[in-house]
Amino acid sequence: MKFVAEKLVKTFPGVRALDGASLVLEPGSVHAMLGENGAGKSTLIKIVTGVYQPDGGRLLVDDGAGGLTETRFARPQDAQRAGIGVVHQERNLIPEFSVAENIALQAVPTRRGFVDRAAMRALARRCLDQLDVRLDVDQAVGSLSVAQMQLVEIAKALAVDSTVLLLDEPTASLTGDEADRLFTVVRRLRDQGHSVVLVSHKLEEVFAVADTVTILRDGRSVAEAHPLADYSRQEIVNLMVGRAHADLALQSRRVDTDATPALELQEVSTAMGHRDVSLRVQPGAILGLYGLVGAGRSELVRAVLGLETITSGVIRVHGKPARIRNVGDALRRYRMGYVTENRKEEGVFLDQPISRNVAVTVWQRIARAGVVRDRDERSLVEIYRERLGMRIAAPGQLAGQLSGGNQQKVSLAKWLAADCDILVIDEPTVGIDVRTKAAFHELILGLADTRIAILLISSDLPEMITLADRITVMSEYRIVGELDNDHDYQATSQAVMSMIHAGTAA
């Protein structure tokens, strides 16, 4: 089905999210939609899928006779009936339901007023067969891997006869092998005549799978449905940011390795399955914790922060044994902050103003007679608004109205405001565009230069090689190797992957 979104306009209080953006989709193609955070991609997707109504422009769909007819989606169900499906970055599955129940959720087959479970299973198998995926349709979704859940999301969209499928950051939580398998499915859908829209900040996967590209900048289309082969990677980046963009230069930093570690783990084991984990981070150092999805990295730092159970071993902060009960305790007693990977559920309060999000870690410090004044919270935001380059309408704007990159900046700002000297940063740039990613990299390096000890978790190996002074490699909840990072991408990546494969085989 051909689909056209023409010169869309959408305005929110203080923000013009779309200013004449267009999107043209042809059947049997994979179309990349690119742009920085805040460029308007999410708003455009929400209009195309009936979540938002445009203030201007129009939507056109194939009329079945070779022409286009104007349409309007008053709600998401209207878009679904028109054949438009979407797989969001945040999965919308019910863990306790079976694969079949999740796939059929939007089109439950019934018989005489009751759910027809035989028809539901047949529908699920038909959609999974279309993807060439083998799953037990009676299995609970909560027991699946992340990659399998992503495929169930796609099957769920196919269950309502989606001929246009929008994939929003589909590989954000996938390993490289899982992403390759997902793109095999994407190509199969393209060959079956579907229009697939890929929204991704990973340009290497865009160039691997997409046929055409639309680029948004500041709510406008600066490239519309052009063949991707006409562009180099650098030309794409320049169009996204509006100027020539240079990658952050890789350079070694001087770290006092003889200094007392700001954070040290000695033979730590956890109830999650970690055994005898030891590591140390000196003041001003960036220690990278790398591994494939499921290696146990996030679970380890959550145990350090009192969110999971430590069964043995010692944690030391500045050389002294520490027993951390929770994140608040880590901040108050040890000046340790935690920028979580799950910014929407743990990093920010989406339904609260930006000012409250940033000030929450320092309420005790800025309170007067037990009262925190709005103007003091707003003043704090202005400090970090400039320092971090936050694109916000006002300090009172709800955090949930921000782009993913700006939400991440708010999450970071609250810990900077708390004046931490140990910072755990988990997946800092997932779902963040190239320019914002470069700004985050510069910021993290700058924080380390102020003697903040940083424990960095990232599944992005180029990011790890850019930032870390030393890389600790995990696999299956164990440390399988360590190396000093000389920022030689090819040599370091080969060494890291060799450690992972050796650890997995052990």
Q: How far apart are CA 404 and CA 409, in angstroms?
A: 9
Asked if residue 101 belongs to a domain, the reply is yes
The enclosing domain of 490 has a CATH number of 3.40.50.300
Check whether residue 126 and residue 45 sit in a common domain: yes
Say whether both 201 and 332 belong to one domain: no
| Least confident segment among 188-197, 353-362, 401-410 | 401-410
Q: Once rounded to an integer, what is the mean pLDDT over residues 20-31? A: 94
Most confident of 278-282, 341-345, 369-373: 278-282
For residue range 357-399, what is the model confidence (pLDDT) as tens digits?
888 887 877 777 788 788 888 887 888 787 777 778 888 888 8
Residue 246 has pLDDT above 60, yes or no: no
In whole angstroms, what is the distance from residue 115 CA to residue 117 CA? 6
Residue 252 domain flag: no
Q: Would 87 be classed as within a structural domain? A: yes
pLDDT at 279: 96
Instruction: Say if residue 395 is in the same domain as residue 425.
Output: yes
Note whether 301 and 229 are same-domain residues: no
Q: How confident is the model at residue 437 (pLDDT cuts 50, 70, 90)?
A: confident
Query: Cα 40–46–49 angle (5° rounding)?
Result: 140
Helices (H) and strands (E) in the chain, counts: 17, 22
- Whole-number pLDDT of residue 78: 92
pLDDT of 217: 87
The dihedral region occupied by 322, where left means phi > 0, alpha psi between -120 and 50, and beta the remainder, is: beta
| 303 shares a domain with 200 | no
Is residue 152 in some structural domain? yes
Q: Is residue 99 part of a domain?
A: yes
Query: Are residues 215 and 296 both part of a single domain?
Result: no
Instruction: Please report whether residue 392 resides in a domain.
Output: yes
More confident residue, 391 or 486: 486
The per-residue pLDDT for 171 is 80
Q: How many CA atoms lie within 13 A of 99 on its CB side?
A: 25
pLDDT (tens digit, 9 = 90+) per residue, 156-190?
Answer: 888 888 899 999 888 876 667 777 878 888 999 89
Instruction: Answer with the one of 209, 241, 273 that is the final residue of a domain.
Output: 241
Q: What is the Cα–Cα distance from 364 to 366, expressed in whole angstroms?
A: 6
Same domain, yes or no, for 161 and 210? yes
Specify whether 29 is located in the same domain as 138.
Answer: yes
Indicate if 207 and 284 belong to the same structural domain: no
Question: Same domain, yes or no, for 227 and 303?
Answer: no
Residue 250 lies in a domain: no
Over range 295-306, report the average pLDDT.
Answer: 91
- Tell me which residue range forms the domain holding 182: 3-241
Q: Is 318 exposed, middle or buried (CB count within 10 Å of its CB: 0-12, 13-18, 19+)?
A: middle
CB 164 within 8 A of CB 194: yes
Alpha carbons 12 and 393: distance in angstroms, whole number: 10
As a whole-number percent, the residues of the chain with pLDDT over 70 amount to 93
Prediction pTM value: 0.61
Residues 375 and 484 in one domain: yes
Please compute the mean of the pLDDT values over residues 425-439 and round it to a whole number: 76
Residue 62 in this model has a pLDDT that exceeds 70: yes
How confident is the model at residue 245, as a pLDDT? Answer: 47
Total of domains in the chain? 2
Rounded to whole angstroms, the Cα distance separating 480 from 501 reads 9
8 A C-beta contact, residue 131 and residue 162: no
- Strands (DSSP E) contained in 299-382 are 310-317, 320-321, 336-339
Same domain, 285 and 179: no
pLDDT tens for 438-473 read 778 888 888 899 899 999 998 878 888 889 999 999
User: Considering the chain, what is the average pLDDT of its residues?
Assistant: 86
Residue 318 lies in a domain: yes
